[in-house]
Structures are given as structure tokens and as C-alpha cells.
Copies of this chain bind each other. A is one copy, B any other.
Amino acid sequence: MFRRWIALLLPCSMLVAAGQPTTPAPSHIPTYTSDGRLLPPSDYREWFYLTSGLDMSYTPRVANSEGMSMFDNVFVAPEAYRAFLKTGTWPDKTMLVLESRGAESHISINKAGRSQGQDVMGVEVHLKDESRGGWAFYAFDNAVPAKMIPKEASCYSCHQQHAAVDTTFVQFYPTLLPIAMRMKTLSDSYLKEEVKDGK
């Protein structure tokens, strides 16, 4: 999911038109400008945390060819999380945020492994809005409202083909995957891939 988003959204983010900074959205409810751009979620660090990955990639190589190492942290709006706990899937208006941060070595007294740095390398949103055609991706450049990434982008087809629940990569959310398994909300395509992989 992480590296998928990154790998697919970095080129996609070239499509994000610049605009005037706007007051960030104050809540978990998606808020759009009059021309349909999504306001960046201002308070996602106070949402519920789902997981982190380090240098994940959906191609068999080191994620970042420039030798850069990154953590990806995923957050979800609390209302959507609580709905998932009850139903095993996502309600309308669900917002997932993928935050990318540099992975650092030898910070302070840390002598091995990686810690997270202060620089946010990217913020992307995966938003389910039935009134606007269902799930959509947005990539933010600082606090500027973002245009929806066009549905032809490969991120959509990849999530459709490989994501465990409702086009989201719940297979990487350790507290939610067991719920989806119990509630039998795993997608057919994901279940077929797991069988194929002998899992």
C-alpha cells in the first residue's frame, strides 16, 4: 500500500495544480473548494494510527532508487475506524492519510536501525465519497488543496486488483485484517491471490 501509493502517486502528484494556500480542513469530514479540490486534512496526526512501513515497494527492488529511505505512516479518521470495527469495511466519507517521512540513522543515542525524521516528504489521501464517484486519491503539496488524481491513473487499478477490502490495503493494517477476516469482507481478488501464493 505504502510504496504502492508513493510509487504511483509521485508521478500522479505532478498533476496536482498549484493554488493559493487555504485554511486547512478543521475536521474529519472531506471539504472541497468550489472548483472541487480537496482541502488537506489538517489534523490527521490526531486521527487513529493504522500502521507504518519502511521502504515498501510493489516492484522487486529497493523502493527509492536514489538510496533514500522512508517510513510511511497511515492514519484514518476515527469515525471510519469505529465503523470498520463494527462492519469490517469502510463507510462513506472515509479518509485514509498516508504520510511519508525520512528514515534516519544514528540520531542521538540510537546506534542501529532507523528512526523517523521531522521532514514530511508527502501527504496523500485516499477518500471514499459516494457523491463524487467513490474512492479517489489526492496528493498534497504543502497545505494547498489538491485536485483528484484522474481515475485512469494506475493507482486505482492496482488498488482494485490487489487490495484486501474495498480497494484499501487492509492486508497491511494489523489491527483491522483480523476483523475483515472474521466479517468476511475480504475481496475476491485478494482471496484468490492469497490462494495462489499458497497462504
Residues of A within 8 A of B (CB): 2-4, 45-46, 48-49, 51-63, 71, 73, 75, 78, 81, 101, 103, 107-118, 162, 164, 169, 171-172, 174-175, 177-178, 190, 193-194
If A4-B109, A63-B112 touch, does A174 touch B55 (CB 8 Å cutoff)?
no
- Which chain B residue shows the least CB distance to A197? B108
If A108-B162, A172-B107 touch, does A51 touch B178 (CB 8 Å cutoff)?
no
State the CA gap A174–B194 with chains docked (Å).
36
User: A56 — which chain B residues lie within 8 A by C-beta?
Assistant: 110, 112-115
State the CA gap A63–B111 with chains docked (Å).
9
Indicate if the CB atoms of B71 and A52 lie closer than 8 Å.
yes
User: A81 — which chain B residues lie within 8 A by C-beta?
Assistant: 46
Indicate if the CB atoms of A116 and B46 lie closer than 8 Å.
no
Q: How many copies does the complex hold?
A: 2
Indicate if the CB atoms of B57 and A110 lie closer than 8 Å.
yes
User: A75 — which chain B residues lie within 8 A by C-beta?
Assistant: 49
User: A54 — which chain B residues lie within 8 A by C-beta?
Assistant: 54, 71, 103, 113-114
User: A45 — which chain B residues lie within 8 A by C-beta?
Assistant: 48-49, 175
State the CA gap A108–B53 with chains docked (Å).
13
Question: What's the nearest-Cβ distance from chain B to residue A51, in Å?
Answer: 5
State the CA gap A98–B101 with chains docked (Å).
20
State the CA gap A126–B5 with chains docked (Å).
34
Indicate if the CB atoms of A57 and B3 lie closer than 8 Å.
no
Known: A54-B54, A58-B111. 20 other contacts (CB 8 A): A2-B113, A2-B115, A3-B110, A3-B113, A4-B109, A46-B78, A51-B115, A53-B115, A54-B113, A55-B112, A56-B112, A56-B113, A57-B111, A58-B110, A60-B111, A61-B112, A63-B113, A107-B171, A108-B190, A118-B178
Q: What 8 pairs across the A-B complex have the smallest Cβ distances?
A: A55-B113, A49-B49, A57-B112, A56-B113, A52-B52, A60-B111, A108-B171, A118-B174
